[in-house]
Amino acid sequence: MMRLNLTRWIAALHLGVCFLVSNASAQEKPFRPEAGKFPPLAQAHGFRGELTFVDHANRRGSLRIQGEGNYFRNAPHPFAMLPYGVIRYQGAQAGLRDIPIGTVLHARGFLPPDPKLSSVPVLPVNNRNKTAGYSGKGIAPAENHLILLEDEPSFCQREGKVWKLQEVELQNFAGKIVARREPKIGGTKAEEETLTFDAATRIWRGREKLEVADLIADGIWPASGKKALKDQAVLLGITWKPTPSNIFTRFHISDIWLDDVAMQRAAHNQTETHKAFIRTRWMPGWIDAVEYGKFGTATITATLFGGMDESLYADFKKGAHAQMNAVESNLKHTHGAYSPAHMASKGQILEVTKIKGEIPLGSSGIQIHFKTDLIIEGIRPGRNIRVRPSHWPNVNIPREEYLGDNNPLERFPSPAIFPRY
Amino acid sequence: MKHTLPLLAAFVALLTPLFAEDSPFRPEPGKFPPLEKAHSYQGELTFVDHTNRRGSIRIQGNGRFRFTGPSPFAMLPYGMVRYHDAPADLRDIPLGTVMHVQAYLPPDLKISSVPILPVENRLKKLGNAGIGTAPAENHVLLLEDEPSHCRRHGLVWKLQEITINRHAGFIIARRESKAGDGQAHEETLTFDAATRIWRGRERLGAQQPPFSPIRSGPKAASKPFRQKQFPSSNRLHSAAAR
């Protein structure tokens, strides 16, 4: 009887230990996006840095990330956009090709969903906590698969913030601005930052593009010396330039939008650029479900990716004819030598539905139900697609934007192109 | 023997220029190469590695432009980049900009940072892309965008006709000397609602009338600017919507 009790106690203890250990390891298991699920933004790691390299055809590049140390020492850090990753520039949706090198961008990233297929170097999970010499901590996070990449005015507009200018100091058409980035209305006072500007800084007022010299000529800024700007609310475009006088981290103003009209016009121009791009490269999305019919027919449910202009989504209508192509995780078409339309599944949109509830970032919240008479390889649940309503232009895309020769390196671009510093 | 030496000398003298002509020109260290020895082409900037002063261009050949794979180039140490008619760096030029190029064979094959191609590669036909899309002359002395190219050569675009539908369409134009000398053929170019139009300090879109041409010289003024508009193009964005 005593032996039986002891055995029970040991078994119970063992179970308890197992439960504690499994719970702990579940907590330690790092979060990675899963196929077919938009990851919650709250789980993303946030950082910001200067765009230093772009491989737009493979939706990847490098950022010099701001850490705790001396900014100029930070080596460019590779990143890849997730297939549903959203890019915003000047308050509008964009492609990597639209963003000038040197632009400071805000990023939200995750660990690589599948390290084996990563097109950028895979780093140790805790890399963001490592100190790298004078660069300090935080300059090379392993969270290099981005769901959101946005420039300063896009970031400010999404967060309802503006830059409130405190003081300008000028000499020879260049100088410093002291400003605070804080909520447009109310909120707590943010810390003051000093930023530089120069004769190349673009100043936007309504439809006008001005220079520092114009503001001086109009008597708005002094030719030299200081002027208090009394919380003047503006939006700023930010870059980085090496700074003299042993100042290791100071950012530079590339653009100042003085009023709402100026910002709206910039956003409008970028929106039109991106709309033309998506109409020729097709709307990206992924497959939720496939119901196979007879002789190659199938009914496909697909979710369209988010972040596009509403007018593009409005083109997906019940009864409209469309074409659907399989694409890789970098959204490259798998066929293209005779245009992406050549091999695409053709059919009709049976229904367009809106997903109820909160729409996660990356998703449009719009599902299309598409019937095709011949489903092509690659259109499978969890895989990425591009889809085109038939009234969008049927164009040929350039060679680097589609897979051509069954070359595995084309399909899975190697991280080897990124130099190791 | 008395006649052999002069004969041999004459033979060598005849052969030397032939070999000299066969030896392709390459820039030499310490000498700026003459521009007239450069090979010229134009193409779309598709990739930039600005820290190493190199990139890729989709070069216009005699075939179909979209079949043309990007062709790598490297700037010579003294190579110049010009953008908006001003000195620039590769980082300043937006991807997609069509550039005019003047380039040479690699000065030193061993240390070229871009692929080395056969010397006659510019004459090779590469499938549907055609001839001229991947010249071996990929070490660039001058890389300039369209307005820089036009200003350097004293050229302007003279707009002939515009066709607009929903803020997008075609422009027929000729790139020719300001004074209108010489022969130029008409080209058709597209534009859309994202095309930026500059007037003084204003940045306009195709929505803002009038879509006025660059007036240059009495000859240009005598040629009226033709404008076609579909009725739907009258639908303008309000200032608030922009």
Mean pLDDT across B34-47: 97
CA distance B89 to B80: 8
* Whole-number pLDDT of residue B2: 53
Select from B46, B196, B242 the Cβ nearest to the Cβ of A400. B46
Mean pLDDT, residues B65-82 taken together: 95
Share of chain B above pLDDT 70, in %: 76
Judge contact between A385 and A109, C-beta under 8 A.
no
The answer to whether A209 contacts B192, with C-beta atoms less than 8 Å apart, is: no
The Cα of A214 is separated from the nearest Cα of chain B by a number of Å equal to 10
Cα gap A380→A354, rounded to integer Å:
21
Domain count along chain B: 2
Residue in B closest to A272 by C-alpha: B194
How many residues does this entry show for chain B?
242
Cβ separation A396–B66 shorter than 8 A: yes
Calculate how close chain B gets to A376, using CA atoms only, in Å: 24
Residue A316 has pLDDT above 80, yes or no: yes
Closest listed residue to residue A93, CA positions, set A236, A263, A278 = A278
The pLDDT of residue A19 is: 46
Q: Which of A2-16, A64-78, B208-222 comes out lowest in average pLDDT?
A: B208-222
Is B29 in the A-facing interface, judged by CB distances under 8 Å?
Answer: no
Q: Does B242 touch chain A (CB under 8 A)?
A: yes
Q: Which of B149, B169, B203 is the last residue of a domain?
A: B149
B96–A97 CB contact, under 8 Å = yes
Between A168 and A20, where is the model more confident? A168
- Which of B48, B65, B66, B170 should one mutate to test binding to chain A, selecting the residue with the greatest count of A CBs within 10 A? B66
User: Phi, psi at residue B241, to the nearest 5°?
Assistant: -70, -20
Backbone angles phi, psi at A153, to 5 degrees: -65, -35
B131 and B76 in a common domain: yes
Interchain pair B68, A399: CB under 8 A: yes
Distance from CA of A372 to the nearest CA of B (A): 29
Give chain A's contact residues with B (Cβ, < 8 Å). Answer: 52-57, 97-98, 100-102, 207-210, 214, 261, 264-265, 268-270, 272-273, 275-276, 396-400
State the pLDDT at residue A24: 45
Residue A23 has pLDDT above 80, yes or no: no
Residue A101 has pLDDT above 70, yes or no: yes
Q: What is the CATH number of the domain that holds B83?
A: 2.40.50.320
Alpha helices, DSSP H only, in A47-185? Answer: 152-159
* Confidence band for A417, pLDDT divided at 50, 70 and 90: confident
pLDDT 10s digits, A332-391: 998 778 889 999 999 999 999 999 999 999 999 999 999 999 999 999 999 999 999 999
Encoded amino acid at B88, one letter = A
Nearest chain B residue to A398 by CA distance is B66
pLDDT confidence of B180, banded at 50, 70, 90?
confident
Partner-chain contact B194 A400, CB within 8 Å: no
State pLDDT tens for residues B224-238: 344 443 333 222 223
**Residue A269 distance to chain B (closest CA, Å):** 5
- The closest alpha carbon to A161, from A219, A211, A111, A91, belongs to A91
* B168 occurs within a structural domain: yes
Residues B221 and B187 in one domain: yes
Which residues in chain A touch residue B201, judged by CB atoms under 8 angstroms apart?
A: 208-210, 214
**Cβ separation B66–A208 shorter than 8 A:** no
- DSSP state string for chain B: -TTHHHHHHHHHHHHHHHHHHHSPP---TTSPPPGGGSEEEEEEEEEEEGGGTEEEEEE--SS-GGGPPPEEEEEEEEEEEEETTEEE-GGGSPTT-EEEEEEES-S-GGG-SS----TTGGG-B-GGG-BSSS-S--EEEEEEEHHHHHHHHTEEEEEEEEEEETTEEEEEEEEEETT--S----EEEEE-TT--EEETTEEE-TTSS-------HHHHHHSPPEEEE-GGGG-PPPTTT-
Considering only CB atoms, B95 lies closest to which of A56, A209, A261, namely A56
Same domain, yes or no: B162 and B115: no
Q: To the nearest whole angstrom, how far is the Cα of A299 from the nearest Cα of chain B? A: 33
Q: Which of B149, B181, B215 is the last residue of a domain?
A: B149
Largest CA distance in chain B: 96
Which of the four pLDDT bands, split at 50, 70 and 90, describes residue B11? low
pLDDT in tens, A345-362: 999 999 999 999 999 999
Question: Residues A228-254: pLDDT tens digits?
Answer: 999 999 999 999 999 888 888 899 999
Reported as a pLDDT band with limits 50, 70 and 90, residue A6 is low
Q: Which helix (H) or strand (E) element contains residue A274?
A: helix A260-281
To 5 degrees, how large is the angle CA B90–CA B96–CA B101? Answer: 55
Å between A46 CA and nearest CA of chain B? 26
Residue B208: list chain A partners with CB under 8 A: 207
What is the average pLDDT value for chain B, to the nearest integer?
83
Extract the tokens encoding A340: 């992406």
> Based on the domain organization, do B116 and B184 belong to the same domain?
no
Write phi, then psi, for A402 (nearest 5 degrees).
Answer: -145, 160
Question: Across the interface, which of B46, B50, B239 has its CB nearest the CB of A261?
Answer: B239
Q: Is B204 on the interface with A (CB under 8 A)?
A: yes
Q: Which tokens sit at A365?
A: 């919240």
Cβ contact (<8 Å) for A265 and B242?
yes
| Averaged pLDDT, B10-21 | 50
Is B21 inside any structural domain? no
User: Nearest by CB to A400, which of B49, B70, B208?
Assistant: B70
- On the question of a common fold for A41-156 and A282-411, the answer reads no
**Sequence-distant contacts of B117-121: CB under 8 A, at least 24 apart:** B119/B24
Q: How far is CA B2 from CA A50, A187, B5, B10, in A?
A: 77, 104, 7, 14
- Contacts by residues B201-206 (CB-CB < 8 Å, ≥ 24 positions apart): B201/A208, B201/A209, B201/A210, B201/A214, B202/A207, B202/A208, B202/A209, B203/A207, B203/A208, B203/A209, B203/A265, B204/A207, B205/A265, B205/A268, B205/A269, B205/A272, B205/B167, B205/B237, B205/B242, B206/B164, B206/B167, B206/B168
Q: What is the pLDDT of residue A252?
A: 98
CATH of domain A282-411: 2.40.30
> Which amino acid belongs to residue A39?
P
Residue A41 reports pLDDT greater than 80 = yes
- Do B121 and B177 reside in the same domain of the chain? no
Contact B191, B171 (CB under 8 A): yes
Cα(A270)–Cα(A292) distance, integer angstroms: 40
Nearest in space to B242 (alpha carbons), one of A202, A151, A263: A263
B173 assigned to some structural domain: yes
For A97, the closest of B68, B95, B201 (CB atoms) is B95
- Distance CA(B101)–CA(B112), nearest Å, equals 18
Cβ distance of B69 and A399 shorter than 8 Å: yes
pLDDT at B161 over 90: yes
Q: Number of A:B CB contacts under 8 A?
A: 76
Using a CB-CB cut-off of 8 Å, the residues of chain B touching A275 are 193-194
CB contacts, 8 Å: A270 with chain B: 194
Cβ–Cβ below 8 Å for A208 and B49: no
Q: Which domain holds residue B64?
A: 35-149
The CATH number that domain A41-156 falls under is 2.40.50.320
Which residue did the predictor score with more confidence, B242 or B193? Answer: B193
User: Is residue B41 located within the same domain as residue B93?
Assistant: yes
Question: What does the pLDDT read at residue A18?
Answer: 45
Is residue B64 located within the same domain as residue B121? yes
Q: Do the chains contact at A261 and B242, CB–CB below 8 Å?
A: yes
Asked whether residue B9 is domain-assigned, the answer is no
In this structure, are B141 and B57 located in the same domain?
A: yes
Q: Inter-chain contact B69–A53, Cβ cutoff 8 Å?
A: no
Contacts of A101 in chain B (CB under 8 A): 48, 50, 91
pLDDT of residue B20: 47
Q: Is the pLDDT of residue A144 over 90?
A: yes
pLDDT band at A135 (very low <50, low <70, confident <90, very high): confident
Predicted local distance difference test score (pLDDT) of residue B240: 34
- Comparing alpha-carbon positions, the chain B residue that sits nearest to A418 is B49
Distance from CA of A53 to the nearest CA of B (A): 7
B92 close to A (CB below 8 A) = yes
Q: What band does A404 get if pLDDT is binned at 50, 70 and 90?
A: confident
**Residues B86, B161 within the same domain:** no
What is the spatial distance between Cα A224 and Cα A233, in angstroms, rounded to a whole number?
A: 22
Residue A35's pLDDT band (cuts 50, 70, 90): confident
Domain boundaries, chain A: 41-156, 159-275, 282-411
Same domain, B145 and B39: yes
Cα–Cα distance between A41 and A360 in angstroms, integer?
Answer: 8
Cα(A412)–Cα(A403) distance, rounded to whole angstroms? 10
pLDDT of residue B228: 42
> Shortest CB distance from B192 goes to which of A98, A210, A276?
A276
**Does B178 reside within a domain?**
yes
Whether the per-residue pLDDT at B51 is higher than 90: the answer is yes
pLDDT in tens, A178-197: 999 999 987 788 999 999 99
Give the pLDDT of residue B137: 98
B99 shares its domain with B165 = no
Q: With pLDDT > 90 as the criterion, what percentage of chain B qualifies?
A: 66
> Which token pair is B77?
């140490």
* B46–A57 C-beta distance less than 8 A: yes
pLDDT at residue B184 is higher than 90: no
Assess whether B62 and B128 both reside in one domain: yes
Q: What gap in Å lies between CA A366 and CA A305, rounded to an integer?
A: 8
Tell me the residue length of chain A: 421
State how far residue A130 is from chain B, nearest Cα, in angstroms: 26
Q: In this structure, is residue B13 part of a structural domain?
A: no
**Whether the predicted interface score ipTM is above 0.90:** no
